[in-house]
A and B are shown apart, each in its own frame.
Chain A
């Protein structure tokens, strides 16, 4: 902890006052990826290179100790936001403020130090682990980078402790194994252990259980929740699966095509979805009960091209309620119930009476 406070002092010049309960504050986040075009096209379109508007003005906060879910379909920008929060991508505009520090202002060296406080867990554990490193080496690696003050014995002990914590017991028997020698569920435990070794405050979990089998998923989710308690973690939980989100998230934001369309406490949003897109998304989730088959009709079409997103509300071409204003004017996020915001011109009709 001594190291951490020293580091914070160093960065005090860039500190921004935030309320103490927010660990992460994301303000008007924008990320556009330029589309590489041919030489001729780039000459013709000089200065006007098309770009994928992956994230286009998203704001939210993650409170200390909560699980904040980001849900959406592919192309909604949820994974890009995860990487922007870690500054694995540079923002096009907007701010990511972590514990009062605008990450954009940090030097490369200070950003590297900062990353010991935030770690990421990806979807595919096999792709996340170096096949030539033993499990022990893989977990120890971040400690070597971020905790040079520890002796190698101390580090080794730390790895064994963390292996034990994630349920890889006895830890010694796993230390020298390679990723291909263990199962997929165990690999994800190793990835989680590696993320935890530096005792981070924030874990960005990008579809952490999407590749696991049903029976393994519930165990991994349970483990993540146990680790949250044990290590005082805050999670940014990125998922396409609203049913799973229900079991882990405290608050949730629903993304569509690079925009936040609805956000609030999980139960509030699930019980009273106010955005037509959230409603469609929730209705589309298959329910494991043959007596509760879906009867609602699904919106037309598929998620549009993020290079030329629709004008106004991005959902309007597929929205069953769309009126003229929806294609002309972009709805802003409005708080219609306490802590529950929605970006829809006509959301009021869905307010519970």
Chain B
């Protein structure tokens, strides 16, 4: 594994048992997360992006399971780590920020208690005083006055609560923060400020962030690279500049064209036909073929490989591949 890759996911599949049968919510997906980058993971509801994010911490339970896949985090395959050792990695090495901070925070714990508990659970030798000092430093850095540490979650605004969430992820100096729709419940101005904060943290702490979102604008605003999922499959990955300027997969093309742009003087939005398929009975071949304006014969029969289409831009689409099975070099 190259040194600049912090997390390398290989052929990850996540299954859910449902009454209708087994659903592959994430189906044979590979993705590299580079050190120090903000990687945006986008897709529509049900595409598997949140399941993917949770699987990176092996945070799946109940009807979910991971039948195959490798999760190489910082040189170690997390799939081989005994489940009882996972809690030590969660929080300490990989932090998570969820969409709704109100349901993620304990309503009867002050913010200070949240932070000291997090620090002392993972680092039991840290004294109360030292934990307090660390908590104060951290929240000040995130734009929360340290006097507010004694407050409870309900006393804070939505934006402040989301800052507390990120402070919890940073309290143990996590190398990777997985942020699942962190700004979706925030108003635009608060969202913009939170995104500014993410960028600052990325630079200051050399933080690596996987930003899971359905908001294409947010990706364009803060991400270095973007990964696009459709119906449990990865369809395209590349730098934001490349993907936004020249999206290769017809799904990415349609998705980007249907996003309203406040700065463009265009009359109409692009309308992509159809809706995402049910994962219980996904279409054969390329899963996008029933909606694809460029679908060819082969698209309904065979699944395209996920490979380089232009340098570090990867896509899984027959438009750029030959059916003879000869694969181009993949270097993403």
B220 interface contact, C-beta 8 A:
yes
Mark the stretch among B19-27, B187-195, B202-210 that contacts chain A. B187-195
A95-B221 Cα distance, complex, nearest whole Å: 43
Shortest Cβ gap from B185 to chain A (Å):
9
Q: Is the CB of A243 within 8 A of B217?
A: yes
Which residues does chain A contribute within 8 Å of B214, judged by CB atoms? 213-214
A340-B262 Cα distance, complex, nearest whole Å: 19
Q: Is the CB of A247 within 8 A of B192?
A: no
Which residues does chain A contribute within 8 Å of B215, judged by CB atoms? 286
Question: Which of chain B's residues 194-252 have a Cβ closer than 8 Å to chain A?
Answer: 195-196, 214-221, 223, 240-241, 244-245
A214-B275 Cα distance, complex, nearest whole Å: 10
Shortest Cβ gap from A5 to chain B (Å):
37
A301's closest neighbor in chain B, by CB? B157
Question: Which of chain A's residues 163-186 have a Cβ closer than 8 Å to chain B?
Answer: 183-186
Which residues does chain A contribute within 8 Å of B275, judged by CB atoms? 183, 185-186, 213, 215-216
Among A218, A221, A303: residue with most chain B CB under 10 A? A218
Question: Which of chain A's residues 19-64 have a Cβ closer than 8 Å to chain B?
Answer: none
Asked, given contacts A73-B189, A218-B271, A298-B189, whether A213 binds B45 with beta carbons under 8 Å apart, the answer is yes
Q: Is the CB of B217 within 8 A of A286?
A: yes
| Chain B contact patch, size range | 35 or more
A294-B219 Cα distance, complex, nearest whole Å: 12
B254 interface contact, C-beta 8 A:
yes
Asked, given contacts A215-B44, A302-B157, whether A288 binds B220 with beta carbons under 8 Å apart, the answer is yes
A222's closest neighbor in chain B, by CB? B271
Which residues does chain B contribute within 8 Å of A280, judged by CB atoms? 189
Question: Which of chain A's residues 284-307 have a Cβ closer than 8 Å to chain B?
Answer: 284-294, 298-299, 302-303
Which residues does chain B contribute within 8 Å of A282, judged by CB atoms? 262
Q: Is the CB of B221 within 8 A of A287?
A: yes
Q: Is the CB of B258 within 8 A of A294?
A: no
Q: Is the CB of B190 within 8 A of A302?
A: yes
A29-B187 Cα distance, complex, nearest whole Å: 24
Shortest Cβ gap from A238 to chain B (Å):
15
**Choice from A214, A281, A294 contacting B216 with Cβ under 8 Å:** A214
A247-B271 Cα distance, complex, nearest whole Å: 13
Asked, given contacts A240-B187, A294-B192, whether A286 binds B221 with beta carbons under 8 Å apart, the answer is yes
Shortest Cβ gap from A184 to chain B (Å):
8
A242-B189 Cα distance, complex, nearest whole Å: 12
Shortest Cβ gap from A224 to chain B (Å):
12
Asked, given contacts A286-B220, A286-B221, A291-B241, whether A215 binds B187 with beta carbons under 8 Å apart, the answer is no
A222-B267 Cα distance, complex, nearest whole Å: 11
**Choice from A218, A221, A291 contacting B272 with Cβ under 8 Å:** A218
Interface 1/0s, chain A 209-233, versus B by CB < 8 A? 0000111111101100000000000
Interface 1/0s, chain B 174-196, versus A by CB < 8 A? 00000000000001111111011
B36 interface contact, C-beta 8 A:
no
A146-B158 Cα distance, complex, nearest whole Å: 42
A247-B276 Cα distance, complex, nearest whole Å: 24
A217-B271 Cα distance, complex, nearest whole Å: 9
A219-B268 Cα distance, complex, nearest whole Å: 11
B262's closest neighbor in chain A, by CB? A243
Which residues does chain B contribute within 8 Å of A184, judged by CB atoms? 45
Which residues does chain B contribute within 8 Å of A240, judged by CB atoms? 187-188
Asked, given contacts A213-B44, A213-B214, whether A288 binds B259 with beta carbons under 8 Å apart, the answer is yes
B255 interface contact, C-beta 8 A:
yes
Which residues does chain A contribute within 8 Å of B44, judged by CB atoms? 213-216
A74-B276 Cα distance, complex, nearest whole Å: 30
A73-B44 Cα distance, complex, nearest whole Å: 24
Question: Which of chain B's residues 143-188 have a Cβ closer than 8 Å to chain A?
Answer: 157-160, 187-188
A246 interface contact, C-beta 8 A:
yes
Shortest Cβ gap from A325 to chain B (Å):
24
Q: Is the CB of A214 within 8 A of B218?
A: no
Shortest Cβ gap from B221 to chain A (Å):
4
A218-B257 Cα distance, complex, nearest whole Å: 10
Shortest Cβ gap from B13 to chain A (Å):
23
Q: Is the CB of A288 within 8 A of B216?
A: yes
**Choice from B189, B221, B268, B270 contacting A293 with Cβ under 8 Å:** B221
Question: Which of chain A's residues 247-292 have a Cβ closer than 8 Å to chain B?
Answer: 247, 270, 280-292
Which residues does chain A contribute within 8 Å of B216, judged by CB atoms? 214, 288
Asked, given contacts A214-B258, A215-B255, A247-B260, whether A286 binds B157 with beta carbons under 8 Å apart, the answer is no
**Choice from B160, B221, B259 contacting A214 with Cβ under 8 Å:** B259
**Choice from B160, B218, B244, B255 contacting A286 with Cβ under 8 Å:** B218
Which residues does chain B contribute within 8 Å of A299, judged by CB atoms? 189
B269 interface contact, C-beta 8 A:
yes
A246-B215 Cα distance, complex, nearest whole Å: 17
**Choice from A281, A286, A298, A303 contacting B193 with Cβ under 8 Å:** A298
- 5 A-B Cβ contacts within 8 A? A213-B45, A213-B275, A270-B262, A281-B188, A284-B189
| In the complex, the 10 A-B pairs of residues with the closest C-beta atoms, listed nearest first | A286-B217, A218-B269, A213-B44, A243-B260, A73-B187, A284-B192, A284-B188, A290-B240, A215-B272, A243-B262
Given A74-B187, A213-B276, 16 more A-B residue pairs with CB atoms under 8 Å apart are A183-B275, A214-B258, A218-B269, A242-B188, A242-B262, A247-B260, A280-B189, A286-B188, A286-B192, A287-B220, A287-B221, A288-B244, A290-B244, A294-B221, A299-B189, A302-B160
